[in-house]
Chains A and B, each alone.
Chain A
Amino acid sequence: MTGNLVRRASPMLAGAGFVLAALLTQAAAQEDLRIGIIAPMTGPFAQVGTDKTNGFKMYLDQTNSTFAGAKVTPIIEDSQGKPDTAVTKARKLILEDHVQLLVGGVLAPEGYALAPVSTAEKTVYIASVPAADDLTQRQLGSYPYFIRSSWTSSQPNHPLGQWACDQGYKKIAVVAADYAFGYESVGGFQKAFEDCGGKIIQKMWPPLGAKDFGPYIPQIKPDADAVYSLMVGPMPLQFPKQLRDSGYTKAIIGGGTSYDESVLPFMGDEVIGDVSSLQYSAGLDTPQNAAFVKSFRAKYGKVPSYFSESNYTTAMMIDMVMKDSGGKFPGPEVFIAKMQALKVDAPRGPVSFDDMRNPIQDIYIKKVEKTTMFGYDKPELWNVVIKTYPAVSQFWTYGKDKFLQQPVYSRDFPPCKYCE
């Protein structure tokens, strides 16, 4: 008898459950400015996701969550590092929470996944981390509501290639993570380095997330003057350590993520002297950055990484656009146009935008040193800036038209002419 009852009642119960869920989700009311933040908060990229959202939150705390009188409500959603989950969450943010702005994604695939959503739903999407070159290059035309506040993968690597050439390195071996971000970073480095007369004599691609470089290190060609590494996530903690342990004494240089402050505090003294390039360094010695580092560290107990700075600056940019619009969200088209016209004085230095909606910014060549900075009394590892390339665009010195004629950097482009 009860069995029949349960059986009969179960459809009704299911229905009631869904209705309840619907009511719960519709209970939230409209506010002045709602910002959806998508970041991996679980999984292997959770640390990066936390660094990122902390940067954004800190700016909100400093401004009391009010941009030009508009109350700002951030809604953080976990993408779990999966592109299709990022899309589902973005739809939720747009359709249920009625956010006017989407900020975030970390991995390049998340950026590629979210950009079409912004087009379909006519919602501004600010990529505050995803660095996939083509989003602001060959594919920008499909994404009218897309703007980037961070960087393209190859942007800091062009100057590094030039710098390496200026140091007199002739031959360099590359060890880089086997995915699009790795290809684009290496591509930029190789292009600039070889245009200046250097030779990339070897490219090795360990899989993304590799933790043992034993199979790769013995293969590094002995006639290379230096090794260029591009590591991400947990990879950088192993690579320089294993390479130095093997007795390697020549220079190691690398892309920004090989030494950025999301990993540097966890590294040992063996990385002292290694050189990398990025649009930000926590060791950038300017009063504005000193203030940023100190307050971030006081709040979150950790030196900010570029993930934090990029999102702090993104919040600042949104604030500036809101001030310019009198505290009212001006609609997606105008928002994009106004943001693109900004001249921002960020912790990373002066930032403006090119006509492809990617930042033009200073690129820093940084050397890891053990030193004291900003009045902290203990000597620590810092990315000390040794050279600044001012106002670098994503097209380096090649010019937009000429640059866009070549294909996007990939595993096979530029071809490895000098590899044996």
Chain B
Amino acid sequence: MSSARSKVLTVIVVLASIALAIPHTSSFIILLMTRALAFSILVMSLDLLLGFTGLASLGQAAYLGIGAYLTAILAARYQIGMGYDFWIVVALGMIGGALLAAVFGLLALRATGVYFLMITLALGQCVWGLAYRWNSLTGGDNGINLQHRPKFGIDLANEVTFFYFVFALFGVSLAIMYTLVRSPFGRSLVGIRESELRMKVLGYNTWLHKYLAFIIAGAFGGLSGVLWAETAGIVSPENVVLTTSVDALLMAVLGGAGTLVGGVIGAGVVLLIREYLSTLVHWWQYVLGGVYVLVILYLPGGLMSIPQRLRQSRSLRKQSVNTDKLVSATH
């Protein structure tokens, strides 16, 4: 069994066991895990840029915002998305995210490195500004309430059903993105991350590759937004503030950039600390800060690199035992 296949298998087993275990926990845990899964689609979409293409974007919340506001506006104003037409909303959310990314990409991809970061940040803030100021459409800082979750054959108002629904969409997103990064297209993205110049010399249109990755990430960001809007039932400018983008970035790094599935671990850990631990203790912020600092200091590869780290340290130990033997043998 190749190591890649065993890794995939492990991920599937872990995810499946979580899916089976969650409904037997409390309703609050179910709600939190649903939120973590919905948000982790955004984190994975960012990982596509950060971990595979080498583009650190600080404006990913914009796509979540598009999806979320689209869902809320369609539901609250036009009653669209309350039944089977929810799938239209899902599609529109993804298209909206992709279109926005197509526009933003034209501007942002002219730059690299920290300048790319600054431009995406500025563009993300534009979306926030619109959400905050376009009162007649977005309700300003009061936001928009979604009265009910959609019902189509299954009733998403049921927390367990909704959890499985989000879980399914999360699984599909993960599978698509995983296939994508393993495809020749994905390989060339990694090539761009490692050395864009070399890829250019080899004859790749690197700009187009990055542009496509940016649009795909935008589409999944939109999907994440549609689901995120339904988890809390309220969409407000708070969803598109800079900290949401920063959260996504930190979660991606925390889980392990360039691993995709690390996104769900990052999102899970952060949301559990922020929304679960904060119900137990009031010093949860120190824990969150501590986790960030410790992971970045001691696990630069994120939480997903723990198994690899363990393996490394074991083989190191074996090596040192071997050298000890060697040393004693020569004496």
Contact = CB atoms under 8 A, between A and B. Distances in A.
Contact of A22 (B24, B285, B307, B310): B24
Contacts of B238: 82-84, 109
Contact of A3 (B18, B22, B282, B310): B310
B210 interface: no
A89 B22 contact: no
Contacts of B29: 18, 21-22, 25
Given A78-B278, A88-B275, A22 B141 contact: no
A113 B25 contact: no
Contacts of B143: 83, 109, 112-113
Contacts of B285: 42
Contact of B307 (A3, A83, A85, A108): A3
Contacts of A7: 6, 10, 307
B22 A10 contact: no
B141 A109 contact: yes
A116 interface: yes
B28 interface: yes
Given A7-B10, A14-B17, A15-B17, A83 B25 contact: no
Contacts of A92: 28, 31, 279
Interface stretch (B105-113, B179-187, B228-236, B319-327): B228-236
A14 B21 contact: yes
B200 interface: no
A180 B141 CA distance: 7
Nearest to A119: B147
Question: Majority SS of interface residues in chain A?
Answer: helix
Interface residues of A, number: 44
A410 B139 CA distance: 10
A389 B145 CA distance: 35
A6 B307 contact: yes
A113 B278 contact: no
A34 B79 CA distance: 36
Contact of B145 (A12, A22, A96, A116): A116
Interface in A373-420: 410-411
Interface of B: 6, 10, 13-14, 16-18, 20-22, 24-29, 31-32, 35, 132, 135, 140-143, 145, 147, 231-234, 236, 238-239, 274-276, 278-279, 282, 285, 307, 310-311, 314
Interface of A: 2-3, 6-7, 10-12, 14-15, 18-19, 21-22, 25-26, 41-42, 77-78, 80, 82-85, 87-89, 91-92, 95-96, 108-109, 112-113, 116-117, 132, 142, 179-180, 208, 410-411
21 contacts: A7-B6, A11-B14, A15-B18, A15-B21, A18-B18, A18-B29, A21-B29, A42-B285, A82-B238, A83-B143, A83-B238, A87-B232, A88-B35, A88-B232, A91-B28, A95-B26, A95-B28, A108-B142, A109-B234, A109-B238, A113-B236
